[in-house]
């Protein structure tokens, strides 16, 4: 009986949430921006704008409210700046639903570690939120642009990032914990997607702008930022970023345009592909990289006078497409080697995994080895579908008698 009483008392004492808070008492933060201004952190918080107490769903008052409110404060630390927001916000900030953090170019160049400590330590934040760079404007302005297709701007930006990653391949979604893992990983450097703010920013933050068919201002993802450890060293454009994603296997589908004669272009859609990367050590004790791309493509467009009904025509298009893939991959590798000296492709990580002895002997000199590394790129994509018509429009003949 005594044991039963002890168990019952424990159950009574241990039930419930010790730090329970009413949802109505919280300001839910959907996105943060981080800048450094005059040696202080400038933090922006995009907060979901819940309807006022007593306002019914669908009322005129509810529909006139903006979906989010943005607070902005300076502080010697990120936490101090966030706490200062309580001097304006009627509710305490809750960080557990952050979906994205935007940093500006300056923060990225000075070092991501400077802003990471609070985000790691804070017990409320889930570390899977996405990180990105606003390249041409302040990061705070990225929070103020209202969305057209989603209720929350942070959700729309996240959807744009995922859609561009899945269907174009010029960016890739990077979470906070993934980025940190790359900073501390052996033989590989991190990347982070970046975007430019375009249009009239002041007009884009007005609710009336969402009633226009053409957005007054918008965020456009342009490519990937190249890092050296936690510091930004430069930017890849869209084709260079696509090449990076092709090498590391991040592309689900993409379009490759290429010239098929002196003036006109054709394009293929990559619908399935598999990259294969190997790093061998040659007789001169230097690494040699082999990159092989295989997969299936569809002919999506052709504006040249090429007979696609003939094997010769199809082989010509296939060769031109594969040559273009090899060209953009080589270009990205050369820029990473010569301009940034940043092994974002993970050539060193391959050695760390599969030739640990060589890596341990040469990792201190890896920057120089990477800068002079030799490589070979082979694209063997197969054209499996030619669309609804065999011939090109220009190559079609009039058989009418």
The verdict on residue 177 lying in a domain is: no
In which band, very low, low, confident or very high, does the pLDDT at 313 lie, cut at 50, 70 and 90? confident
Secondary structure of residue 362 in the 3-state scheme? helix
User: Residue 231 pairs with which residues in a beta bridge?
Assistant: 228
The verdict on residue 154 lying in a domain is: no
Calculate the dihedral angle through the C-alpha atoms of 51, 56, 61, 67, rounding to the nearest 10 degrees.
30
- For the stretch 17-26, pLDDT in tens is 545 555 567 8
The verdict on residue 398 lying in a domain is: yes
Q: Model's pTM, two decimal places?
A: 0.88
| Gap between the Cα atoms of 316 and 319, Å rounded | 5
Helix (H) or strand (E) holding 116: helix 113-121
275-294 exposure pattern, b = at least 16 Cβ within 10 A, e = fewer: bebebeeeeeeebebebebe
Task: Compute φ and ψ for 88, nearest 5 degrees.
Answer: -115, -35
The verdict on residue 306 lying in a domain is: yes
Extract the tokens encoding 258: 């290429």
For the chain, the C-alpha Rg in angstroms (whole number) is 26
Q: How many helices (H) and strands (E) does the chain have?
A: 14, 13
CB atoms within 10 A of CB 314: 17
Task: Compute φ and ψ for 102, nearest 5 degrees.
Answer: -105, 130
| Gap between the Cα atoms of 215 and 209, Å rounded | 7
Q: How far is CA 91 from the centre of its chain?
A: 32
In which band, very low, low, confident or very high, does the pLDDT at 388 lie, cut at 50, 70 and 90? low
The verdict on residue 362 lying in a domain is: yes
CB 194 within 8 A of CB 222: yes
- For the stretch 132-155, pLDDT in tens is 999 999 999 999 988 888 888 899
User: Residue 298 pairs with which residues in a beta bridge?
Assistant: 269, 385
Average of per-residue pLDDT across 10-15:
57
In which band, very low, low, confident or very high, does the pLDDT at 255 lie, cut at 50, 70 and 90? very high
CB atoms within 10 A of CB 360: 12
The verdict on residue 169 lying in a domain is: no
In which band, very low, low, confident or very high, does the pLDDT at 10 lie, cut at 50, 70 and 90? low
Classify residue 307 by its DSSP letter.
-
Q: Which residues contact 40 (CB under 8 A, 6 or more apart)?
A: 74, 75, 76, 81
Whether residue 400 is predicted with pLDDT greater than 50 in this model: the reply is: no
Q: 23-37, 61-75, 102-116, 171-185: lowest mean pLDDT where?
A: 61-75
The verdict on residue 17 lying in a domain is: no
Extract the tokens encoding 142: 């990225």
Q: For helices 113-121 and 176-183, what crossing angle results, to 10°?
A: 130
Extract the tokens encoding 158: 């996240």
Q: What is the pLDDT of residue 351?
A: 96
CB atoms within 10 A of CB 40: 15
Q: What is the pLDDT of residue 52?
A: 46
- For the stretch 19-47, pLDDT in tens is 555 556 788 999 999 999 988 999 999 99
Angle at 252 between CA 233 and CA 33, to 5 degrees: 40
- Residue 334 sits in a domain whose CATH number is 3.30.300.210
The verdict on residue 25 lying in a domain is: no
Average of per-residue pLDDT across 280-300:
93
Task: Compute φ and ψ for 381, nearest 5 degrees.
Answer: -75, 140
DSSP string, 314-346: HHHHHHHHHHHHHHHHHHHHHHIIIII---TT-
Q: How many domains does the chain have?
A: 1
Domain carrying residue 263 = 249-401
């Amino acid at each position: 009986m005594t044991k039963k009483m002890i168990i019952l008392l424990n159950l009574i004492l241990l039930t419930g949430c010790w730090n329970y808070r009413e949802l109505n008492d919280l300001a839910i933060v959907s996105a943060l921006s981080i800048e450094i201004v005059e040696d202080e952190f400038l933090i922006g918080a995009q907060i979901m704008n819940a309807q006022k107490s007593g306002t019914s769903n669908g009322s005129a008052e509810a529909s006139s409210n903006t979906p989010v409110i943005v607070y902005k404060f300076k502080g010697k630390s990120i936490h101090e700046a966030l706490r200062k927001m309580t001097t304006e916000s009627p509710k305490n900030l809750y960080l557990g639903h952050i979906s994205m953090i935007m940093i500006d170019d300056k923060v990225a160049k000075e070092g991501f570690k400077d802003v990471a400590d609070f985000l790691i330590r804070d017990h409320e934040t889930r570390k899977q939120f996405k990180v990105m760079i606003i390249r041409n404007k302040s990061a705070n302005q990225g929070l103020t642009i209202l969305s057209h297709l989603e209720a929350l701007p942070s959700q729309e930006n996240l959807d744009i990032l995922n859609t561009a990653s899945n269907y174009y391949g010029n960016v890739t979604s990077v979470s906070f914990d993934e980025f940190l893992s790359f900073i501390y990983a052996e033989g590989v450097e991190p990347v982070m997607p970046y975007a430019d703010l375009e249009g009239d920013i002041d007009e884009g933050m007005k609710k009336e702008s969402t009633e226009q068919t053409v957005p007054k201002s918008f965020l456009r993802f342009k490519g990937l930022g190249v890092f050296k450890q936690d510091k930004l060293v430069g930017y890849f454009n869209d084709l260079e970023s696509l090449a990076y994603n092709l090498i590391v296997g991040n592309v689900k589908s993409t379009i490759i345009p290429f010239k098929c004669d002196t003036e006109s272009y054709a394009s293929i859609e990559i619908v399935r592909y598999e990259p294969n990367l190997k790093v061998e050590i040659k007789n001169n004790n230097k690494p040699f990289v082999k990159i092989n791309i295989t997969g299936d493509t569809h002919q999506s467009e052709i504006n040249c006078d090429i007979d696609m009904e003939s094997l010769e025509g199809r082989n010509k298009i296939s060769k031109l497409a594969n040559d273009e893939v090899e060209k953009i991959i080589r270009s990205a590798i050369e820029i990473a080697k010569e301009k940034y000296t940043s092994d974002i492709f993970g050539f060193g990580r391959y050695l760390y995994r599969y030739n640990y002895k060589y890596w341990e002997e040469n990792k201190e000199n890896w920057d120089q080895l990477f800068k002079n590394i030799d490589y070979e790129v082979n694209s063997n994509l197969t054209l499996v579908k030619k669309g609804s018509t065999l011939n090109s429009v220009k190559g079609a003949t009039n058989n009418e008698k």
